[in-house]
Structure 1
Amino acid sequence: MPPPGVCLNIMETRQKQDGYGSITNPDKLFGQDYQQLKTYCLSEGIMFIDNTFPPDRSSLGQGMLEPSDLARVVWLRPAKIAPHPSFILDGVSRFDFNQGQLGNCWFLASLGALTFQNHIFKQVVPLEQVFEEDYCGLFHFRFWRFGKWMDVVIDDKLPTLNGRLICVHAKDQNEFWAALLEKAYAKVCGSYTDMKAGTPSEAMMDFTGGVHMCVNLSKPPPDLWELMCRAGQSNTLMGCSTPPGEKRDNSVLPNGLVEGHAYTLTGVKQMMSRGQLVHLVRVLNPWGKGEWNGDWSDRSSLWQTVSSQDRNMCLTVDNDGEFWMTLEDFCKFYTELDICGLTPDFLDGNSSGHWKTSMYEGRWVAGTTAGGCMNNRDSYWTNPQYRVMVCGGSSQRNEEKNMLVSLMQKHDKRNRHMVQNLHIGFSIFELTEKDKTQRGKFPASFFRTHAPVVKTEIFLNAREVMEFFVLKPAEYLIVPSTFDANETASFILTIHSRAETRCHENSGDQTHETVKKPKQVKNEQEDENKKFIFRQYSDKFEEVDGEQLQRLLNEKILKGDLKSGGFSIDACRSMVALMDTSITGKLNTEEFLRLWNKVMTYKDLFYRTDVSRTGMLSLSELRNAFTASGMKVSDDMLNLMALRYGASSGHMTLENFISLVLRLDCMNKIFKQLSDGKAMKLHMTEWMYVSMYT
């Protein structure tokens, strides 16, 4: 049984700080250790079969093949498919493979781009894998997935019909790196069918874990050619897409291009033609055939207007799916250009390493931190907030774009087809001198008086949205959000800055302060009345256990205030444990009076912040309750408390609120007593002693 999710989150955070999840120390998908599995298979003399992605229908998925064909699929190892199987033959090339029956042109277009960058290719595809030595049917690949690198283990059984591969296949029947890489990515997505439909940027990011920039070719930037040239000279992958047609079925247009199709951008070239400078773009169809037939296509007469040197260097008359076209035609017939690199250097062509990157993982939770876009005036402020200080630099010109901000949805579903992207975006606000004194989240009033200086113009239901822009030296607030309020999802916010920046999450860390209590005047008569009531429910030793406390609270102290059946026996036993200084499982008179005073303080706090007068706290009112109490609670902690103590309706009852604040107050006190103020060290017996009773 795995540990609870909160424990896993802490473990993952610590592991990341130690470098776990990096390319040199990747996480292991499903905990499968390639080296351990290989050692075991070789020592036992067995061929590996991957039970987490078995060679059967579940791994193929539904809808890729007709039922009659699906029944005839046979999973074969390469030795049963080709006479002399090899992992890689004569190096790696974009022409090594062709697309199969699976509609994953977006993945294969990215794969074609990957072959241009040997350094990146070796990160994704460990090259020591061979069929000739220490072979046991086991291979592994590495992909970047939502903030960390994953090592993915597979067996080499591949789906075939009539002895032929049904998915990606090499032009040389003996080469298998592309087919095995595709299988590993299918495992990450959930099945082969889950790879249908996508964008080149998705796979390119998973190959690099780097910097992605998307260019809208219908409104290209004035420096598009310079950007493409810089990208071509850097360690980048480039892909592009054509717009979908009315039927959305990859129809081939009269000009030879395929509708709704992903291509690899494989080169850019500037040359002289008839005394004029022309900018040419080289594009590859992952089908391995089917080419543009307009200007500068393979058989275009325009090739006779350039120097023989340029013609011999660039022109290949062959139906291999690769062709040239002008930059103007490229922008006319393609919708998007995706550029993905290990670093942001391609943005300005400077490789001095001066770009700085900050990455934050956050979460929108319905009711607490999912405020929606700025149309939601009352809740927008509850979204996660990040403060960024952009420092000045003498080498920076004011007109130069110096910030690239990316917002990516982080999915945790096993099957890619189950993922429902939300419409996401972000806004950036400049802070005035007065604003800079604010501690913790900026309230709703801030956003009524401040307009964003940068924002995503359209909220897209895409995996990632980004903006590339100029920010002058100043302090700013970045607010990522979904379009609609109360939509729960995780995200990664990445800030690439050419200027020196200082960034931090802005919800405010939890402080170890107890709830502020109103000043109470000592009233001996009131205390005697409380003691009298207490004795009516206590035993002969004037103590109450959980059952007796339950009756006291529900039938006497809070009668009429409780909306959902009152305190449960478990909640009352927890209260006893939290207030029990003698560890008897019971509360004496003094302990009970302390609890009674706390309960009345929390009740007063509850009703002061229940502005809707429903007798329930909305989760946004819960935040106000903590503010009124004087406790600063981070967004992450608020989300956890809402999930643990809130109802599915998004509200919290008085009894749950009292249980929550009492536990939070006591846990703060325990930490203060047993820690140095920053960290706490307990032996296992001490940890179990504290956690199991309280």
Structure 2
Amino acid sequence: MASNKKAPLGSIENPIKFMDQDFKTILEECLKSGQLFCDSTFPAEQKSIGMPEDADPKKAIKWQRPKEISENAVFVEGTTGTTDICQGQLGNCWLLAALSCLTMHPTLFVKVVPPSQSLKKPYAGIFHFRFWQYGEWVEVVVDDRLPVREGRLLFSYSHTRHEYWSALVEKAYAKLVGSYGSLKGGNISEGMEDFTGGIAYSLNVSSRTPRVLWRSLTAALSRGSLLSCFIEASSYHDVGKVTGDGLIKGHAYAITDTDKVKKASDEILLLRLRNPWGFVEYRGPWSDKGKEWDDLDKAEKERIDLKKREDGEFWISAEDFSSLFDIVELCSVNPDTLVEGTTPASPSSPAAPSTWTISEHEGLWITGSSAGGSRRYKKSFWKNPQFELVLTEQDQPEEDDEDDDDEDDDDEEEEMTPEEKKRAEKQKQKAKQCTVLVEMLQKNRRQKDKVHFLYIAFHIYKVPSELQGMCLDRTFFMKNRPVGRSGKYQAQRGVWRKLHLDPGNYIIVASTYRPNNTGEFFVRIFSKTGNTLGTQDFTCSSGYLPVMATPSLPEDHVRVEKTFETEAGPDDRLNAKELMNMFNSVLDRDYHLPLETCRQLIFGEDTKGRSSLSRKQTETLLSSLRNLQSIFFQFDEDSSGTMSPFELSTALEAVGMQCDGQVAQLLSARFASGDLHMPFHGFVSCVTRLRTLFALYESESSQEVKDRGINSWLLQFLVL
């Protein structure tokens, strides 16, 4: 019996509607009115192109629908294939190479390109596509007006020039990121992940022998992984240069198939690649023009579907591939397909059980608060967002399980070599551990025609039992080294690592290389059943009064008495201005308080409705200020009269107040007034405000308020 339960929002069955546009509703409205859809959220204007307009009127861009461009226009011509995609006048080979890979996997393809879309009647000029975005599937609606220059599509087109599905996918993705110009430059893995929701990673070609590499890539293709490759350019000027073999440096190629052929007594291992341009092909051995095919049986050529035409697709031997290419990019649909030889060929097969659980979190790096930089910045690294990872269940890694060591998997020899014995021993150790895969992606880094990725990485630390549940401070990170990391800081969208860790408690610290780099990020952790992930935050608390109860100095007592004799009115009390004059005559110049802070200090005391303080209250408050000055001075290491907001949490702890990450971020933003350094009066205002809120919470009788907790209370009132 079918369940009527609706799929969760953000799933492939129930994607989030981008810009709140519902495809079915718009389609029905257009069919009813007889009007073709015109998308006002991504208009047929230059701003959607996202690049400077060409001054030559002959090169003016027109926006036309497929049937206006080509009489024989179709959405899909026959079946979808790699040659449906050719790169136009836009540097987005990374995206189109990923799209070429996607066409090789029909079950994945229909997730991105929903079926039953056509240019035939009933036709309303509207199409929809789905992309994975940081843990959620998003549906993007577009009209079919496409940019045209001199009668031809400006950007992606099909080899036959009659087919339009790839151009419309490109338009939908451009809308998702802001403009066509925002697609310029990128990593193939970015497109692969957004088309599948999978895990993308890089493999150095030189790390394996040609035969082992070929076998690994063949297995990856059979498991439904997307594969692409490129030759590294030594400099920016080398990008796009064509080598003597007809290959393009810094350019993304899709790996669409592998095969092997017999030539005399030799077995030749081959890979099939595709250039997203749709032309400019490899000219070496086993290419379309290679003479090596002449000695091959006709049946063998037909079996591997050899097509000797300029379509961007070609074969290359594993030996030549290994000597010419540098990097292979792979995208596995789930962690199980990262394990060679253990999963069925179909990535979406229900018969492929997965014991992995996924935990997902979004985070922020905020200037002066949670953007602490790398480990070299010892004073602020600990302020980076921390995520708690609890590993309880050991798991049995698969026999060929590859982790971050990235060792060769060569089992051709019958007898175990010393190296294989070493690996077998290591496998026994893994069996006592927990397998975990951590990936971190930075968000929203495509702006107009520029891609600005921060240098990012994450580190994993083992937490001793006595510190579990606590926010780890600077002292912990000074004394402990990470047990795992993503590797060197990299300026790309995502970094990941697969690790085997002992059962226990850990924290994952997400960071940018330099402090104060503002950004958003997404972390997902794949682990075996029974392991959990949470944010490393805690319940805010205050021990303010005991800490602040310090005896007043004799000279302060004299100063208070003298001030009251000369300044106090008939009620024997001081108002805010009189209080300011007295405090500033006692405190060092760098620690003087403005009138507004003095008003806040008065309202933080029990004045029974008055806006002034008694002698005793003034003397107690001055003693408290002396204490705050001492604590502030401790963190004002350069004697500038200001304190880095990174140290705010620690300074508050010295006062006796412990605040979680969100509360500390709000305090920093409010009382540092947007500056990177907080003056003394900002610190005083911060403490005064917190002290009042803690006291109000303690006096609160509402059970609903108590159930929500102190953290929620503080966040609610700090924004007022």
**TM range, smaller chain:** 0.7 to 0.9
The counterpart of 1:343, out of the listed 327, 334, 346, is: 334
Q: Please report how far the alpha carbon of residue 235 of structure 1 lies from its aligned counterpart in structure 2 after TM superposition.
A: 3.3
Shift of the 501–537 alpha-carbon distance from structure 1 to 2, 3 Å rule, reads: farther
1:4 aligns to what? none
The whole-number CA distance in structure 2 between the counterparts of 1:252 and 1:693 is 57
Would you say 1:269 and 2:301 are equivalent positions?
A: no
The counterpart of 2:454, out of the listed 414, 422, 426, is: 422
Would you say 1:618 and 2:650 are equivalent positions?
A: no
Shift of the 443–49 alpha-carbon distance from structure 1 to 2, 3 Å rule, reads: same
Shift of the 607–279 alpha-carbon distance from structure 1 to 2, 3 Å rule, reads: farther
Q: Please report how far the alpha carbon of residue 185 of structure 1 lies from its aligned counterpart in structure 2 after TM superposition.
A: 1.5
Would you say 1:240 and 2:234 are equivalent positions?
A: no
Shift of the 271–479 alpha-carbon distance from structure 1 to 2, 3 Å rule, reads: farther
Q: Please report how far the alpha carbon of residue 316 of structure 1 lies from its aligned counterpart in structure 2 after TM superposition.
A: 1.1
Shift of the 453–332 alpha-carbon distance from structure 1 to 2, 3 Å rule, reads: farther
2:325 aligns to what? 334
The counterpart of 2:666, out of the listed 640, 644, 652, is: 640
Would you say 1:317 and 2:307 are equivalent positions?
A: yes
Map residues 122-521 of structure 1 onto 2, 5 A cutoff: 122-133=110-121, 135-220=123-208, 224-244=213-233, 247-270=237-260, 272-303=262-293, 310-319=300-309, 320-348=311-339, 349-350=342-343, 351-393=352-394, 395-396=396-397, 398-399=426-427, 402-411=435-444, 415-431=447-463, 434=464, 436-497=466-527, 501-506=531-536, 508-513=537-542, 515-518=544-547, 520=549
1:6 aligns to what? none
Map residues 31-70 of structure 1 onto 2, 5 A cutoff: 31-62=20-51, 66-68=54-56
The whole-number CA distance in structure 1 between the counterparts of 2:137 and 2:605 is 46
The whole-number CA distance in structure 1 between the counterparts of 2:389 and 2:719 is 43
Select between 294-303 and 251-260 the one with higher mean Cα deviation: 294-303
The counterpart of 2:99, out of the listed 107, 111, 124, is: 111
**TM-score, normalised by the number of residues in structure 1:** 0.82
The whole-number CA distance in structure 1 between the counterparts of 2:581 and 2:249 is 71
1:15 aligns to what? none
Shift of the 70–259 alpha-carbon distance from structure 1 to 2, 3 Å rule, reads: farther
Note if contact 1:402-1:499 (Cα within 8 Å) is conserved in structure 2: no
Select between 120-129 and 445-454 the one with higher mean Cα deviation: 445-454
The whole-number CA distance in structure 1 between the counterparts of 2:196 and 2:207 is 27
Shift of the 386–521 alpha-carbon distance from structure 1 to 2, 3 Å rule, reads: closer
Q: Please report how far the alpha carbon of residue 101 of structure 1 lies from its aligned counterpart in structure 2 after TM superposition.
A: 1.7
Q: Please report how far the alpha carbon of residue 668 of structure 1 lies from its aligned counterpart in structure 2 after TM superposition.
A: 3.9
Q: Secondary structure at the match of 1:407?
A: strand
Select between 460-469 and 283-292 the one with higher mean Cα deviation: 460-469
The whole-number CA distance in structure 1 between the counterparts of 2:652 and 2:373 is 22
Backbone CA RMSD of aligned residues = 3.9
The count of residues paired between Structure 1 and Structure 2 equals: 656
Q: Please report how far the alpha carbon of residue 182 of structure 1 lies from its aligned counterpart in structure 2 after TM superposition.
A: 1.0
Map residues 525-536 of structure 1 onto 2, 5 A cutoff: none
Note if contact 2:17-2:138 (Cα within 8 Å) is conserved in structure 1: yes
Q: Which letter does structure 2 place at the counterpart of 1:96?
A: D
Shift of the 49–278 alpha-carbon distance from structure 1 to 2, 3 Å rule, reads: same
Q: Please report how far the alpha carbon of residue 168 of structure 1 lies from its aligned counterpart in structure 2 after TM superposition.
A: 1.1
Note if contact 2:580-2:595 (Cα within 8 Å) is conserved in structure 1: no
What do residues 643-674 of structure 1 show as CA deviations (whole Å, max 9, x unaligned)?
22214442112222222233333334445523
Q: Please report how far the alpha carbon of residue 306 of structure 1 lies from its aligned counterpart in structure 2 after TM superposition.
A: 6.7
Q: Secondary structure at the match of 1:243?
A: coil
1:12 aligns to what? none
Q: Please report how far the alpha carbon of residue 509 of structure 1 lies from its aligned counterpart in structure 2 after TM superposition.
A: 2.0
What do residues 137-196 of structure 1 show as CA deviations (whole Å, max 9, x unaligned)?
333322223443333232222111232211111234443211111112122233222222
Q: Please report how far the alpha carbon of residue 48 of structure 1 lies from its aligned counterpart in structure 2 after TM superposition.
A: 3.1
Note if contact 2:382-2:472 (Cα within 8 Å) is conserved in structure 1: yes
**TM-score, normalised by the number of residues in structure 2:** 0.79
Q: Secondary structure at the match of 1:48?
A: coil
What do residues 473-530 of structure 1 show as CA deviations (whole Å, max 9, x unaligned)?
4544433322223322222233333585333333x3242435343374999x999998
Consecutive unaligned residues of structure 1, counting only runs of 5 or more, are 1-17, 682-686
1:9 aligns to what? none
1:627 aligns to what? 653
Q: Please report how far the alpha carbon of residue 531 of structure 1 lies from its aligned counterpart in structure 2 after TM superposition.
A: 11
Select between 134-143 and 220-229 the one with higher mean Cα deviation: 220-229
Map residues 539-550 of structure 1 onto 2, 5 A cutoff: 548-549=575-576
Shift of the 323–299 alpha-carbon distance from structure 1 to 2, 3 Å rule, reads: same
Note if contact 1:603-1:654 (Cα within 8 Å) is conserved in structure 2: no
Q: Secondary structure at the match of 2:90?
A: coil
Note if contact 2:50-2:448 (Cα within 8 Å) is conserved in structure 1: no
Consecutive unaligned residues of structure 2, counting only runs of 5 or more, are 1-6, 344-351, 400-425
Q: Which letter does structure 2 place at the counterpart of 1:483?
A: Y
Identity of aligned residues (%): 29
Q: Which letter does structure 2 place at the counterpart of 1:362?
A: G
The whole-number CA distance in structure 2 between the counterparts of 1:31 and 1:541 is 63
Q: Please report how far the alpha carbon of residue 62 of structure 1 lies from its aligned counterpart in structure 2 after TM superposition.
A: 2.4
Q: Please report how far the alpha carbon of residue 623 of structure 1 lies from its aligned counterpart in structure 2 after TM superposition.
A: 1.9
Shift of the 77–519 alpha-carbon distance from structure 1 to 2, 3 Å rule, reads: closer
Note if contact 1:605-1:628 (Cα within 8 Å) is conserved in structure 2: no
Map residues 3-82 of structure 1 onto 2, 5 A cutoff: 19-62=8-51, 66-68=54-56, 72-82=60-70
The whole-number CA distance in structure 1 between the counterparts of 2:10 and 2:17 is 9
2:418 aligns to what? none
The whole-number CA distance in structure 2 between the counterparts of 1:241 and 1:593 is 76
The whole-number CA distance in structure 1 between the counterparts of 2:666 and 2:719 is 21
Shift of the 529–453 alpha-carbon distance from structure 1 to 2, 3 Å rule, reads: closer
Q: Which letter does structure 2 place at the counterpart of 1:619?
A: P
Q: Which letter does structure 1 place at the counterpart of 2:282?
A: W
Q: Which letter does structure 2 place at the counterpart of 1:515?
A: Y
Shift of the 197–392 alpha-carbon distance from structure 1 to 2, 3 Å rule, reads: same
1:554 aligns to what? 580
Q: Please report how far the alpha carbon of residue 267 of structure 1 lies from its aligned counterpart in structure 2 after TM superposition.
A: 1.4
Q: Please report how far the alpha carbon of residue 323 of structure 1 lies from its aligned counterpart in structure 2 after TM superposition.
A: 1.8
Q: Please report how far the alpha carbon of residue 436 of structure 1 lies from its aligned counterpart in structure 2 after TM superposition.
A: 5.0
The counterpart of 2:678, out of the listed 632, 637, 652, is: 652
2:416 aligns to what? none
Shift of the 606–267 alpha-carbon distance from structure 1 to 2, 3 Å rule, reads: farther
Q: Which letter does structure 2 place at the counterpart of 1:425?
A: A
